[in-house]
Amino acid sequence: MHSPQKVQLSPQSPSTPPGTAGGSHNTEWMERAGAHLLQNYKQQPIVLERGEGVYVWDADGRRYLDLLGGIATVALGHCHPEVVAAVKAQADKLWHVSNVFYSEPSIELAEQLSAASGLARAFFCNSGAEANEAQLKLARRVMKDRGTPERFEVLAFENSFHGRTLATVSATGQAKYQKGFEPLMPGFRHLPYGDLEAVRKAVGPQTAAILVEPIQGEGGVRAAPPGFLRGLRELCDAHGLLLLMDEVQTGIGRTGKVFAFQHEGILPDAFSVAKALGNGLPIGAMVCSEALGKSLPVGSHGSTFGGNPLAATAANVVMRKVREPELLASVERKGAHFIRHAQKLQERLGGRITEVRGRGLLMGVELNGEAGPVVNRCRELGLLVNTAGERTVRFAPAYTVTEAQLDEGLRILEQALQT
């Protein structure tokens, strides 16, 4: 299936190259995967073994251009030398102590998140869902502390994605993630994304907070219309509601600002980050204002692994990098380059591509049909991407990607769309 001109062996490819008498390492591993991994993912049929920058190699030594970046996680590229060096040094020093004690990396990371956002308090956890869970728990406690316990409802949006825990899947505005897990948690209402009037009408004496993604990532890379987030901010101010931002996919430089809400010149009351924060090591954070932070006092919330020294060390390198204006500018520039060229491709392919969307290095190419088969074809041609929603091909590469590599990705996408 792999076209020979796209198949490139790495210099250190495994001793048994693909197609030889030794058989396929990919196949062997996938058979083992089939036996004991929970079959909850629709995994692409390759086993990835090694990565460098925006390239990864599978178990048979085949190289791929990775423009998915671990679903928007590997911000600085695979095995970025500075991240590797920092994590190795930390690995020789201290791995884990729990939050019974302090450790240096998480303190520095809290300082960096606070300096970059303007919100004073950080709570660390291990994933995006947990970071959102913390925001939701925060909202409930804040309303109790204010003497308005009847305010527990969170307004969220159709087509959103907030995670897979019971609370965050209840907050998610897509039935496919909820099916079979009912009863869902009460206290969520879903409104049309971008419809400020609908939100205004939905606010009532029971409303505690609004939870929103600046760009709906899993929902197909759909940005909030201009003014929407600012409108939500004003609505929250007018009614004493908390504006909770889910920056799990958009945060940490992905859109060309450290946090996507900064494009709008607004500040939420709290926000969540995770995906790009640890360059692929699992770490999430909920960041909130000094005043709100008081509602989660000693004993009220926690996480055993939260702020783990290895993950926080990786995150400190990522944060130092993404706070550099030049890096952020390059993310915007490269994203704009991709969008321009994808739009040219759209013109050339007349109707096959229906829309090109994105900001910074979070891009979606919407097709006039299912994106799944195109993603598969791209892989066969040596490009890794995935779907976001039914019809959208998502690109979320490392910020270190070059314009030439983005062009190469689009060239492969074009080829995939023509076969």
> Whose Cβ is closer to ligand PLP: residue 169's or residue 196's?
169
> Whose Cβ is closer to ligand PLP: residue 110's or residue 129's?
129
Provide, for the chain, the percentages of residues in helix, strand and coil under a 3-state DSSP scheme, each rounded to the nearest 5. Answer: 40, 20, 40
Reduced to 3 states, what is the DSSP secondary structure of residue 10? coil
> Where in the sequence numbering do the catalytic residues fall?
161, 246, 275
Q: How far apart are CA 160 and CA 216, in angstroms?
A: 6
> Whose Cβ is closer to ligand PLP: residue 251's or residue 309's?
251
Q: How far is the CB of 61 from ligand PLP (least distance, A)?
A: 30
Please, are residues 343 and 353 in contact by the beta-carbon 8 Å criterion? Answer: no
> Whose Cβ is closer to ligand PLP: residue 244's or residue 381's?
244
Please, are residues 210 and 154 in contact by the beta-carbon 8 Å criterion? Answer: yes
Residue 77 gets the label, from left (phi > 0), alpha (psi -120 to 50) or beta, of left
Q: How far is the CB of 165 from ligand PLP (least distance, A)?
A: 8
CA distance to 162, 184, 242, 255, per residue, from 210 (Å): 13, 18, 6, 22
Give Cα 118 to chain centroid, integer Å: 21
Length of the chain (residues): 419
Residue matched to tokens 């869970």:
133
> Whose Cβ is closer to ligand PLP: residue 99's or residue 159's?
159
**Contact set with ligand PLP (CB under 6 A):** 127-129, 132, 161-163, 213, 217-218, 246, 248-249, 274-275
Q: How far is the CB of 57 from ligand PLP (least distance, A)?
A: 25
Q: How far apart are CA 143 and CA 139, in angstroms?
A: 6
> Whose Cβ is closer to ligand PLP: residue 156's or residue 236's?
156
Under 8 Å CB-to-CB from 354, ≥6 apart: which residues? 346, 366, 367, 368, 391
What DSSP string describes 55-73? EEEETT-BEEEESSHHHHT
Q: How far apart are CA 360 and CA 255, in angstroms?
A: 4
Q: How far is the CB of 172 from ligand PLP (least distance, A)?
A: 8
> Whose Cβ is closer to ligand PLP: residue 271's or residue 338's?
271
Q: Which residue is nearest to ligand PLP (CB)?
A: 128
> Whose Cβ is closer to ligand PLP: residue 283's or residue 345's?
283
Q: How far is the CB of 260 from ligand PLP (least distance, A)?
A: 10
Q: How far apart are CA 331 and CA 401, in angstroms?
A: 9
Q: How far is the CB of 114 from ligand PLP (least distance, A)?
A: 21
Q: How far is the CB of 10 from ligand PLP (least distance, A)?
A: 29
CA distance to 16, 162, 258, 365, 374, per residue, from 390 (Å): 37, 18, 29, 11, 11
Q: How far is the CB of 170 from ligand PLP (least distance, A)?
A: 13
Residue matched to tokens 């939100």:
199
Which stretches does DSSP call E strand in 253-370?
Answer: 270-273, 284-288, 353-359, 362-367
CA count, 13 A, side-chain hemisphere, 151: 21
Q: Which burial class, exposed, middle or buried, applies to 325 when counting CB atoms under 10 A from its CB (0-12, 13-18, 19+)?
A: exposed
